[in-house]
Amino acid sequence: MKKILLQLDCDPLASVFDAVTAYDAGADVVLQYGNVTTENVVDLVYGVMFTRGGDKLKYSAIFIGGSNVSRASEILDVVKKTFFGNVRNSVMFDPSGCNTTAAAAVAKMTKACDVKGQKVVVLAGTGPVGQRAAAMFAMEGAKVVVTSRKFEKAQAAAEEIKATFGLEVQPFAAFDDESTTEALKGAVAALCTGAPGVTLIREPLWKANPSLKVLGDVNAVPPMGVEGMKSSYNGEVIEGKVMLGSMGIGGLKMRVHRTCIERLFERNDALFDAQSILEIAKELS
Amino acid sequence: MKKILLQLDCDPLASVFDAVTAYDAGADVVLQYGNVTTENVVDLVYGVMFTRGGDKLKYSAIFIGGSNVSRASEILDVVKKTFFGNVRNSVMFDPSGCNTTAAAAVAKMTKACDVKGQKVVVLAGTGPVGQRAAAMFAMEGAKVVVTSRKFEKAQAAAEEIKATFGLEVQPFAAFDDESTTEALKGAVAALCTGAPGVTLIREPLWKANPSLKVLGDVNAVPPMGVEGMKSSYNGEVIEGKVMLGSMGIGGLKMRVHRTCIERLFERNDALFDAQSILEIAKELS
Amino acid sequence: MKKILLQLDCDPLASVFDAVTAYDAGADVVLQYGNVTTENVVDLVYGVMFTRGGDKLKYSAIFIGGSNVSRASEILDVVKKTFFGNVRNSVMFDPSGCNTTAAAAVAKMTKACDVKGQKVVVLAGTGPVGQRAAAMFAMEGAKVVVTSRKFEKAQAAAEEIKATFGLEVQPFAAFDDESTTEALKGAVAALCTGAPGVTLIREPLWKANPSLKVLGDVNAVPPMGVEGMKSSYNGEVIEGKVMLGSMGIGGLKMRVHRTCIERLFERNDALFDAQSILEIAKELS
């Protein structure tokens, strides 16, 4: 029986990236749907719920992607409510690659340095990847600080993390060398999740920080969020700090993505969202 | 050579249900098209007519689905006119599952009870499934009564059945216990094809009817069209009547759907519409 | 690893013809995208550039089709600019089948008659197939004349050919027997690429022309562009002239199309456009 993945995407054109990755992970067929809304998604989901019964339900699974994470979250809510009893399919939630990217970064960084009970800073952590990375560090027992140039934005992100994951993180305004130095004070790990091409930590700052053990950066476009970072860094130690660039993180991200897709088809009730994707990333890292 | 099914759907997003079912029936590739219109369908059909010549034409086939049966009918008309000579592909017509659902119900009911020359009632038979079930009972030689709460609606349905299938059925207004009792008087079979959750025959009525031998109900959402019916009934005999609920009918419907898809690829000039789908349902029931 | 073809089409519904042909040429998966624009195409292309690294990039390729050749050309330009270094995928450009049709006609005609240094006329050569055929004849060293009923249109086509391919062709107004006779004077080959059902060369004209050795016609709908031509002619000699009708040309066109698709997956940096498609047509003819 063919493994069919239903790709739900709120963008007008469903992601090519997600489709190719699904095929590479062993899906036999990807049914691509763009323009998915909370209204039209129900019939799409019925189409996988009601075509293959009993223990064959697991051969149909759902991937929720797209560039807009909050709309994708609404889709996920509707999908969950559409299922009933054992009439359900496994689901992976990864719009904008937010979960797989965050999980790969957090898994690599926590492997390089035990964060339990320690301070971890997610710089410019207000977007989808940043929020999820912050939540995942908190799941690992870290005391997480989320920064933004404006305190209000950091606070809003902290509230969203609280609402989505039930986890506490501390908002902090880091807008210049002084405030960034303050943000990083005593931290063992710092991850930059800002916009491409924006430097968040100048080189002298992280080199002068004695507590920092690992630095990560998901930015692929120079200049890097961590000045002195290279995309290709994958655990190199610079001035005593383990360095993880976007390609170093990206390799694991791809393996995490593919592994999640593979495992979707092992049962009919899996949900791969932040926590479970982090578990897989830790297992693979 | 891959078996390619061209899925034509007038809805904005082509049905997942129909695509999954097609793959399960052995199609290698389903080309899904939503937003199909009588204007844009011609080029789509050319795409299967002119790519594989001669005896390989049969490896491309067409499925016409979608939620709007009348628009789908217009598509079917254009598809038929686009073909010429032996340059044609096999076609299955099943928007809203109307043909496969009706055929499964009629095949099961006529197997349980010979309807030739007998009175059969299709209650709330004005929609796509009801009209097609009524026509199929008439094809089997029954004297068919189609009811609606309003006589005008029943009459309009009878006229549409006449126009589409060239078959006569009798319209009847059944809106309360008395008129429903009158409608069922002398009937050997009654099928409910009404809206989900609307009771059409109260329990005392069918139990008190001496001629009724089989009762069918395509409604999956309680309360049932036939009070006392269970979705799971698949030939159980209650008070001397054979009972067929939506799941009992649905199992055959799925097999009919898959079998039609399989057979599309055996020749290049098959047309699976009401009559031929009923034949397959009878063969499989 | 599955061979994935990304089908980019500016029309609202991506071509069925191109998808079926791609599957028949050995593509394992065709990701069909309609409504492609110069804006949304970049993310689509990233989806094949960044999913399979290194020597596996060749398992993803791009087909640019659709009915509008000039919009497709803009898409091609953006696709080329999106690639960088060796991070690229092979591309085939064939909107409206313009390259494969022109290449098949030119390959068959130049095989029937050496055109190097000779006069060749493309009648009604202002559309996509005509312009490309004219350019291809010029690539083969012919002195090419492109006709239209109005000189301005022929001139505009000549300028477009110059701009696109850097090749010189001569515009000429052929609107009646006299001007058509003049256009064909001394020519060894004439190809009609006009609208379906429009006669461009009346029978007495080509029969009376002593220099003409081969006549081609891509028109499939009678009356033919070359009066007396049959669609099925595939090299028949009539009054000393080799005759090539639309089906004769079409058979090679299909083989060229499929061969290009096959070869897309042999490397990650092929570009199949006019010149390279002509080379393949000559190889296969």
C79 CB-side CA count, 13 A: 31
Closest CA to C233 of C84, C94, C105: C105
**Angle value at C-alpha A218, between A213 and A219, nearest 5 degrees:** 120
> Residues of A with CB below 8 A from B20's CB?
4, 31, 47-48, 51-52, 60
Token pair for C119: 């006069």
The dihedral built from the CA positions of residue C249, C251, C252 and C257, taken in this order, carries a sign that is positive
Q: What is the pLDDT of residue C69?
A: 93
The answer to whether residues A255 and A74 touch, using CB atoms and an 8 Å cutoff, is no
The kind and range of the H/E element at A262 are helix A246-264
The answer to whether residues C59 and C65 touch, using CB atoms and an 8 Å cutoff, is no
Whether pLDDT at B97 is above 90 = yes
Chain B residue with minimum CA distance to A34:
B13
Q: What is the pLDDT of residue B60?
A: 98
Contact at CB, B16 and A36, closer than 8 angstroms:
no
Closest CA to B122 of B95, B101, B96, B94: B101
The dihedral built from the CA positions of residue B95, B101, B104 and B109, taken in this order, carries a sign that is negative
**DSSP-derived pairing of the beta strands C214-217 and C187-192:** parallel
The answer to whether residues C33 and C7 touch, using CB atoms and an 8 Å cutoff, is yes
- Whole-number Å distance between alpha carbons of A32 and A8: 7
DSSP, res A269:
S
pLDDT in tens, C5-48: 999 999 999 999 999 999 999 999 999 999 999 999 999 999 99
- Whole-number Å distance between alpha carbons of C214 and C106: 11
> Residues of A with CB below 8 A from C42's CB?
none
Query: Å from A21 to nearest chain C CA?
Result: 6
> Residues of B with CB below 8 A from A43's CB?
13, 15-17
User: Prior bond to C128 cis, omega within 30?
Assistant: no
Q: How many CB atoms lie within 10 A of CB B159?
A: 12
Q: Which residue in the block uniquely carries the two structure tokens 């319209």? A: B171
Contact at CB, A13 and C33, closer than 8 angstroms:
yes
3-state per-residue secondary structure call for B159-174 = HHHHHHHCCCCEEEEC
The domain segmentation of chain B, as residue ranges, is: 4-93, 98-249
- Whole-number Å distance between alpha carbons of A251 and A202: 26
> Residues of A with CB below 8 A from B23's CB?
2, 4, 29
- Whole-number Å distance between alpha carbons of A8 and A61: 11
> Residues of B with CB below 8 A from A89's CB?
none
Q: Which residue type is seen at B172?
A: F
Q: What is the pLDDT of residue B186?
A: 98
Q: What is the pLDDT of residue C54?
A: 87
Contact at CB, C35 and A12, closer than 8 angstroms:
yes
Chain B residue with minimum CA distance to A53:
B251
- Whole-number Å distance between alpha carbons of C260 and C256: 6
Torsion of CA B225, B227, B232, B233, to 10 degrees: -110
Q: What is the pLDDT of residue B222?
A: 85
Chain C residue with minimum CA distance to A29:
C29
What's chain C's average pLDDT? 97
CA distances from C62 to B228, C22, C128, C157, C272 (A): 58, 11, 20, 28, 10
The answer to whether residues A189 and A120 touch, using CB atoms and an 8 Å cutoff, is yes
Q: Which of B35, B40, B48 sits opposite C20 (nearest CB)?
A: B48
Q: Most C CBs within 10 Å: which of A23, A30, A100, as the mutation test of the C interface?
A: A23
pLDDT average per 10 residues of sequence, chain A (285 residues): 98 98 98 98 96 94 96 97 96 97 98 98 96 98 98 97 96 97 98 92 97 95 92 96 96 97 98 98 97
Whether pLDDT at B195 is above 90 = no
Q: Which residue type is seen at B59?
A: Y
With cut-offs at 50, 70 and 90, classify the pLDDT of residue B3. Answer: very high
- The SS3 assignment for A189 reads strand
With cut-offs at 50, 70 and 90, classify the pLDDT of residue B220. Answer: confident
3-state per-residue secondary structure call for chain B = CCCEEEEEECCCCCCHHHHHHHHHCCCCEEEEECCCCCCCHHHHHHHHHCCCCHHHHHHEEEEEECCCHHHHHHHHHHHHHHCECCECCEEEECHHHHHHHHHHHHHHHHHHCCCCCCEEEEECCCCHHHHHHHHHHHHCCCEEEEEECCHHHHHHHHHHHHHHHCCCCEEEECCCHHHHHHHHCCEEEEEECCCCCCCCECHHHHHHCCCCCEEEECCCCCCCCECCCCCCCEEEEECCEEEECHHHHHHHHHHHHHHHHHHHCCCCCCEECHHHHHHHHHHHC
Are A4-93 and A98-249 the same fold in CATH?
yes
Whether pLDDT at B91 is above 90 = yes
> Residues of B with CB below 8 A from C16's CB?
6, 31, 33, 43-48, 51
- Whole-number Å distance between alpha carbons of A150 and A125: 12
With cut-offs at 50, 70 and 90, classify the pLDDT of residue C196. Answer: confident
The dihedral built from the CA positions of residue C34, C36, C40 and C45, taken in this order, carries a sign that is positive
- The SS3 assignment for A235 reads strand
3-state per-residue secondary structure call for chain C = CCCEEEEEECCCCCCHHHHHHHHHCCCCEEEEECCCCCCCHHHHHHHHHCCCCHHHHHHEEEEEECCCHHHHHHHHHHHHHHCECCECCEEEECHHHHHHHHHHHHHHHHHHCCCCCCEEEEECCCCHHHHHHHHHHHHCCCEEEEEECCHHHHHHHHHHHHHHHCCCCEEEECCCHHHHHHHHCCEEEEEECCCCCCCCECHHHHHHCCCCCEEEECCCCCCCCECCCCCCCEEEEECCEEEECHHHHHHHHHHHHHHHHHHHCCCCCCEECHHHHHHHHHHHC
The answer to whether residues B6 and B91 touch, using CB atoms and an 8 Å cutoff, is no
Q: What is the pLDDT of residue B53?
A: 85
- CATH number of the domain located at residue range(s) C4-97+252-284 in this protein: 3.40.50.10280
Radius of gyration of chain B (CA): 19
Q: What is the pLDDT of residue A264?
A: 98
The dihedral built from the CA positions of residue C73, C76, C82 and C85, taken in this order, carries a sign that is negative
Q: How many CB atoms lie within 10 A of CB A218?
A: 27
DSSP, res A13:
S
Contact at CB, A16 and C50, closer than 8 angstroms:
no
Q: State the chains in contact with A (3 or more Cβ–Cβ pairs under 8 Å).
A: B, C
With cut-offs at 50, 70 and 90, classify the pLDDT of residue C116. Answer: very high
Torsion of CA A40, A42, A43, A48, to 10 degrees: 130
Residues forming a β-bridge with A241: A238
- CATH number of the domain located at residue range(s) B4-93 in this protein: 3.40.50.10280
**DSSP-derived pairing of the beta strands A241-244 and A234-238:** antiparallel
Residues forming a β-bridge with A238: A241
Q: What is the pLDDT of residue C195?
A: 87
User: Prior bond to A128 cis, omega within 30?
Assistant: no
Q: What percent of chain C has pLDDT over 70?
A: 100
pLDDT in tens, C136-178: 999 999 999 999 999 999 999 999 999 999 999 999 999 999 9
Closest CA to C225 of C241, C203, C209: C203
Query: Å from A97 to nearest chain B CA?
Result: 24
Q: What is the pLDDT of residue A196?
A: 85
Helix B41-49, helix C16-24: angle, nearest 10? 20
CA distances from C80 to A34, C18, C46, C90 (A): 25, 21, 12, 10
Q: State the chains in contact with B (3 or more Cβ–Cβ pairs under 8 Å).
A: A, C
Contact at CB, C24 and B51, closer than 8 angstroms:
yes
Contact at CB, B13 and A2, closer than 8 angstroms:
no
Q: What is the pLDDT of residue A53?
A: 85
Domain spanning C101-249: CATH 3.40.50.970: no
- Whole-number Å distance between alpha carbons of A60 and A42: 15
Q: How many CB atoms lie within 10 A of CB B160?
A: 15
Residues forming a β-bridge with B120: B144, B189
Size of interface A-C (CB pairs under 8 A): 46
Q: Which residue in the block uniquely carries the two structure tokens 């001007």? A: C179
Q: What is the pLDDT of residue C221?
A: 82
Secondary-structure class of domain A98-249 per CATH: alpha beta
- Whole-number Å distance between alpha carbons of B188 and B167: 20
With cut-offs at 50, 70 and 90, classify the pLDDT of residue C197. Answer: confident
Q: Which of A12, A17, A30 sits opposite C50 (nearest CB)?
A: A17
Closest CA to B30 of B75, B65, B81: B65
pLDDT in tens, C53-69: 889 999 999 999 999 99
> Residues of A with CB below 8 A from B18's CB?
47
The dihedral built from the CA positions of residue B89, B95, B101 and B102, taken in this order, carries a sign that is negative
- Whole-number Å distance between alpha carbons of B156 and A143: 70
Size of interface B-C (CB pairs under 8 A): 46
Q: Which of A31, A43, A52 sits opposite B19 (nearest CB)?
A: A31
